[in-house]
Amino acid sequence: MLPLALTMGDPGGIGGELTLKSWLTRDDAGLVPFFALDDPARLSALAAQMNLDVPVREITAPEEAISLFSEALPVMPVRLAANALPGQADPRNAPAIIGSIEEAAALALSGKAGGVVTNPINKAVLYGAGFTHPGHTEFLAALTGGEPVMMLASPLLRVVPLTIHTALSAVPGLITAALIQSKARIVHSALQRDFGIANPRLAVAGLNPHAGEGGTMGREDADIIAPALEALRSDGMDIRGPLSADTMFHERARATYDAALCMYHDQALIPIKTLDFDRGVNVTLGLPILRTSPDHGTAFDIAGKGIANPASLIGALKLAGEMAAARAART
């Protein structure tokens, strides 16, 4: 198996701490080998500061990570322009942060890395260095091509919001048959290819309370969502809905589907963050490369304090390894 490429994230945030702590769990968590695209000196200093027994070793090529991983954290160097201070974003380091992502994507595209796992970034500090994208996902799509779809996944639930960072008042106008069908097909294909599910089962939430209740609480469910799903069923997809969102996420309901498609951000993220806050993983479907990330931000407020919980990054690394293995099994 190819090693995974783990990006630097913002060096003023908790990404470095999470990288070190994740390597320490490599055996217990069953992680596949990964290497960091980071500044080796800053990781070594951080390990010493936090009293973490993590030897850091520079590598020049991803394949070196395989044999080295059991004894040290492999790092392909991406040098910082300025010393990173916990809790502070430094524009001087923006080129290194961006370069770490670019190199990880290039290595995955070239078949030298099995996938990309991204540590959290602070977008505001990157804009001055020419970063023009709303976030990681759009940047990776620009670097690799494809039609990105965001999934949040944990051992208890997988959810896909059809609209993401948009005002709730704008959501009804964005829900179209084309949007539903395009994202459903990407999710269906990814569940087969990357999750090893031969016959995926999808559940789709309605937009309105009680999925519109026969049109008495909005016509979108009956006029847009239901016909779009019927067309997908006619193509052979196992997809149910529109379903009342308030009854989709209890334990018995979750056992009936492999992923839930939701109409807007909070409809998808509230259930998974309530059920499994620490283990949620952000997965980008629809790209030619595998990409996962922890489902949290830079956490500047706790950076450098040694208290950051690595569970989400560990989950992202573990899931990326599982997805890479599932994809390899199909080739």
Backbone angles phi, psi at 95, to 5 degrees: -60, -35
Q: Tell me the C-alpha distance between 68 and 147, whole Å.
A: 35
Share of the chain above pLDDT 90, in %: 88
HEC string for 100-162 = HHHHHHHHHHCCCCCEEECCCCCHHHHHHHCCCCCCHHHHHHHHHCCCCEEEEEECCEEEEEC
Model confidence pLDDT, tens digit, residues 150-168? 999 999 999 999 998 889 9
pLDDT at position 330, please? 78
Q: What is the pTM of this model?
A: 0.93
Q: What is the mean pLDDT of the chain?
A: 95
Q: Which of 115-119, 122-126, 158-162, 262-266 has the lowest mean pLDDT?
A: 122-126
> What residues does 284 pair with on adjacent strands?
150
Model confidence pLDDT, tens digit, residues 19-66? 999 999 999 999 999 999 999 999 999 999 999 999 999 999 999 999
Q: How confident is the model at residue 234 (pLDDT cuts 50, 70, 90)?
A: very high
Buried b (16+ CB within 10 A) or exposed e, 2-35: bbbbbbbbbbbbbbbbbbbbbbbbbeeeebbbbb
Asked whether residue 286 carries a pLDDT value surpassing 90, the answer given is yes
Average pLDDT estimate for 120-147: 89
Model confidence pLDDT, tens digit, residues 181-225? 999 999 999 999 999 999 999 999 999 999 888 888 889 999 999
pLDDT at position 211, please? 87
Backbone angles phi, psi at 205, to 5 degrees: -75, 145
Share of the chain above pLDDT 70, in %: 100
pLDDT at position 295, please? 85
Task: Answer yes or no: are the C-beta atoms of 229 and 180 closer than 8 Å.
Answer: yes
Tell me, what amino acid is at 227?
P
Task: Answer yes or no: are the C-beta atoms of 211 and 242 closer than 8 Å.
Answer: yes
Domains and CATH numbers, the chain: 1-146+300-331 (3.40.718.10), 149-286 (3.40.718.10)
pLDDT at position 244, please? 97
User: How far, in whole angstroms, is CA 161 from its chain's centroid?
Assistant: 13
Asked whether residue 331 carries a pLDDT value surpassing 80, the answer given is no
pLDDT at position 184, please? 98
Task: Answer yes or no: are the C-beta atoms of 260 and 204 closer than 8 Å.
Answer: yes
Average pLDDT estimate for 323-330: 88
pLDDT at position 146, please? 86
- Residues near 3 by Cβ (< 8 Å), separated by ≥ 6? 32, 33, 34, 35, 62, 63, 65, 66, 69, 74, 113, 114
